[in-house]
Amino acid sequence: MAKYIITGGAGFIGSHLAERLIRKKSKVIILDNLSTVRLENIKRFRKNIKFIKCDLSKRGKWEKEFKGKVFVFHLAALADIVPSIQNPKKYYNANVTATLNVLNACKNSKVLKFIYSASSSCYGIPKTYPTKENEKLNPIYPYALTKKMGEDLVLHWSQVYKIPSISLRLFNVYGTRSRTSGTYGAMFGVFLAQKLANEPFTIVGNGTQTRDFTYVTDVVSAIIKAIKSKLSNEILNVGSGQTVSVNKIIKLLGGNKVFIKKRPGEPNSTFADIKKINKKLGWVPKIKIEEGIKILINEIDYWKKAPVWTPKKIQKATKLWFKYLDK
């Protein structure tokens, strides 16, 4: 029986993927260092999986789990902009060195499929919308660069060592179990904590910028489709097929708002061209933004312990962002 190894499996996307696989009676192994996530994410199915706390940037006993027939989902990563500017080496270790170590562990095993969680941030500010997979890449900050470097490694190992691999470039994933601690980051986590604290929503710029928000269960469905396919050495966008303005998100969430300075290096829009994944895998996103936000509001207590960001705190936290990215 094949094993399903999920790096970062206690995290946002990984925990949803693990839960889906468990429903199918799959043998799931989670490798996670718990640096940015809560064990609560896997509490409800903890007894049904094998969990190993480990640092993938360092070789270790975790590599033994790759013996035999395995499906590998490499989701583990650090994923914030400002900390990647502050400490690029930390991001290199987490997103590049760890990827290399996981790939090397795969070299001597029977990998049935390797799925890499890539980031749409590698496009930088695209010239065309919707953005296709062949768009010229222009990572603007270290996080985006390290995710691109990880993708390069995966595709090269696929080519040289014949590891059947697919890189999924994910666009603005949101949903339950998204990160609640640490630095200023993902928009929905910021907004939901502000809503709980009755603080105004902090809107960057004028709020007319749009994002391709993709619900986490749709992303999991794309991953499942990918492992079942015969594709290899492919890159596929994973998006919702639509863009939504930040102002509309605020309207759906309901509450007061305050505007803060627009940040350099951020695109006015993200919008995935998903024709390729639709054609190659038959994947179609199902969750519309209105439904996704209803789910988040119903589960809003998850963000009770999340930091509440005010304009002053955001200004301080993003100081280096402006220092290094403002041209």
143 flagged as catalytic? yes
Nearby residues of 216 by Cβ (< 8 Å), 6 or more positions away = 12, 13, 16, 173, 174, 175, 176, 177, 178
262 DSSP 8-state letter = P
Nearest C-alpha neighbor of 82 from the set 247, 306, 212, 266: 266
> Dihedral, CA atoms, 54, 55, 59, 61, nearest 10 degrees?
0
Q: Return the percentage of the chain with pLDDT > 90, whole number.
A: 86
No. of H helices and E strands in the chain? 12, 13
pLDDT of the residue at 30: 98
Mean pLDDT of 291-301: 96
Say if CB 325 and CB 138 are below 8 A apart. Answer: no
pLDDT of the residue at 248: 97
Structure tokens at 300: 């809003």
**Residue 182: pLDDT over 60:** no
pLDDT tens for each residue of 208-230? 999 999 999 999 999 999 999 99
CA distances from 298 to 134, 223, 256, 303, 307 (A): 38, 26, 19, 11, 19
d(CA 77, CA 7): 9
Say if CB 181 and CB 307 are below 8 A apart. Answer: yes
Rg (C-alpha) for the chain, rounded Å, is 19
Say if CB 26 and CB 50 are below 8 A apart. Answer: no
Say if CB 39 and CB 81 are below 8 A apart. Answer: no
Q: What is the pTM of this model?
A: 0.96
DSSP string for residues in 200-224: PEEEETTS--EE--EEHHHHHHHHH
pLDDT tens for each residue of 245-281? 999 999 999 999 999 999 888 899 999 999 999 999 9
Structure tokens at 270: 């993200």
Assign a CATH topology to domain 175-212+242-269+287-325.
UDP-galactose 4-epimerase; domain 1 (3.90.25)
Residues in the chain, how many? 327
CATH 3.90.79.10 for the 3-173+214-238 domain, yes or no? no
What residues does each domain of the chain span?
A: 3-173+214-238, 175-212+242-269+287-325
Structure tokens at 37: 């996530």
pLDDT tens for each residue of 32-74? 999 988 888 999 999 999 999 999 999 999 999 999 999 999 9
In whole angstroms, what separates CA 99 from the centre of its chain? 15
Look at 184 and 91; give whichever has higher pLDDT: 91
pLDDT of the residue at 37: 83
Runs of H (alpha helix) within the chain: 12-23, 81-86, 88-92, 98-107, 142-161, 187-196, 216-228, 246-253, 275-281, 289-298, 311-317, 319-325
Mean pLDDT of 307-311: 91
Nearby residues of 205 by Cβ (< 8 Å), 6 or more positions away = 259, 261, 262
d(CA 78, CA 84): 8
pLDDT tens for each residue of 65-120? 999 999 999 999 999 898 999 999 999 999 999 999 999 999 989 999 999 999 99
From the list 91, 92, 116, 143, the catalytic residue is 143
pLDDT of the residue at 188: 92
Q: Using 50, 70 and 90 to split pLDDT, how confident is the model at 179?
A: confident
Q: Using 50, 70 and 90 to split pLDDT, how confident is the model at 180?
A: low
Longest CA span, the chain:
56
3-state secondary structure 77-95: CCCCHHHHHHCHHHHHHHH
Nearby residues of 266 by Cβ (< 8 Å), 6 or more positions away = 204, 209
> Dihedral, CA atoms, 99, 104, 107, 113, nearest 10 degrees?
-10
d(CA 145, CA 162): 25
